[in-house]
Amino acid sequence: MPHPFYKTAPKTYDSSICTAILTDWVQAVSTFYQHYQQLATYRIRQSIPLIQPIPVSQCPLGHLEHLMDDMQRQIESLLLEMGDAEPSPSSQASYQKLIDHTARLNRVNQHAQTLGLLTTLSPS
């Protein structure tokens, strides 16, 4: 969750704001990776009918596949955008992109968390 003191784009970024921005971004990326791995493991289990011949949760496989495709597109988009960022790592534009990316990752992470929870619920 973003720190309230930089919810709106500040005019300047002092070291504490820069640290908070980077910390939030790293946390969002780490959470994204964990969710993706969890969902990928579940998808693999579901795609092998010999292991699980019937649904084992309330998570529809189609929703899961759609989310995972969206997660892949988001990461590709974020990587492309950061590749277009200004060369200076201390530039305000770079930090603003990190703030925006963190917000996007957090939205996808919330959706992934919801589907992840559905994978733990029985189909009844």
Q: List pLDDT tens digits, range 73-109.
A: 998 988 888 776 655 655 777 888 889 999 999 999 9
> What is the CATH class of 13-118?
mainly alpha
Q: What is the pLDDT of residue 110?
A: 93
- Among 31, 18, 13, smallest CA distance to 108 is for 31
Q: How confident is the model at residue 120 (pLDDT cuts 50, 70, 90)?
A: confident
| pLDDT score at 88 | 60
Tell which wins on pLDDT, 8 or 93.
93
pLDDT-based confidence at residue 117 (cuts at 50, 70, 90):
confident
Q: Is the Cβ–Cβ distance between 122 and 58 less than 8 Å?
A: yes
C-alpha to C-alpha distance for 70 and 90, rounded to whole angstroms: 30
